[in-house]
Copies of this chain bind each other. A is one copy, B any other.
């Protein structure tokens, strides 16, 4: 245990663990839907597609929420993980770029049900303004600052073509957004303190192609 910083609850959860917590949460929700009240690390691990040692270690970073000899209470653990991730509160999100992908994102029900709320859809193309997608009005990109300020938005989603992505990111950062989810197929640069995660469909396919090619060589 190293020198702890100013904060009282100085938990330092490894990044790899953080990335798996949402998977555990989803698996717990499925168990709860089936009215299962208690589960062992083995049960949950197989539902989440990991091995049980890793699951127990991951959960141990949150605290000791299990009971030896018994397992975990599904509802209790579910709440604890949700609280740790921060999805007990509701997060307002803006989506920029209402092309095919933006449409799909706006309509994605998984956002709403997991603590995220699309408060605005923005697009630079004025021919799209006034249109409603998933019940939300498409507005000019220049409304970004006002919306972010009014609604206290911290998370922005970029679904524009690659050429526009960096400009959009700059504008987002300038008006106070500190987390960006980037679907545009390009690397975007942001200052320290801003988190970016990227999702790139063609990169995933290329990784598969690499392994596929290797299989074919045998």
Contacts and interface: CB of A to CB of B under 8 A. Distances in A.
A107 interface: yes
A47 B134 CA distance: 36
Interface string A168-184: 00000000001111000
Contacts of A6: 218
A137 interface: no
Nearest to A197: B204
A31 interface: no
Contact of A208 (B7, B197, B208): B197
Contacts of A189: 49
A148 interface: no
Contact of A215 (B22, B178, B201): B178
B205 A116 contact: yes
Contacts of A202: 22, 108, 110-111, 114, 116
A22 to B, nearest CB: 4
Give this chain's copy count: 2
Interface stretch (A34-42, A53-61, A66-74, A82-90): A82-90
Interface string A205-218: 11111111101011
Given A85-B209, A178-B212, 6 more contacts: A7-B218, A18-B207, A47-B187, A100-B108, A181-B201, A193-B215
22 contacts: A7-B217, A22-B200, A25-B206, A26-B186, A86-B206, A91-B205, A93-B205, A100-B103, A100-B108, A103-B103, A104-B104, A110-B202, A116-B205, A116-B209, A155-B205, A155-B212, A178-B212, A178-B215, A181-B205, A195-B211, A197-B204, A199-B201
A42 to B, nearest CB: 15
Contacts of A101: 104, 108
A107 B102 CA distance: 12
A63 to B, nearest CB: 16
Contacts of A119: none
Given A100-B103, A187-B48, A212 B22 contact: no
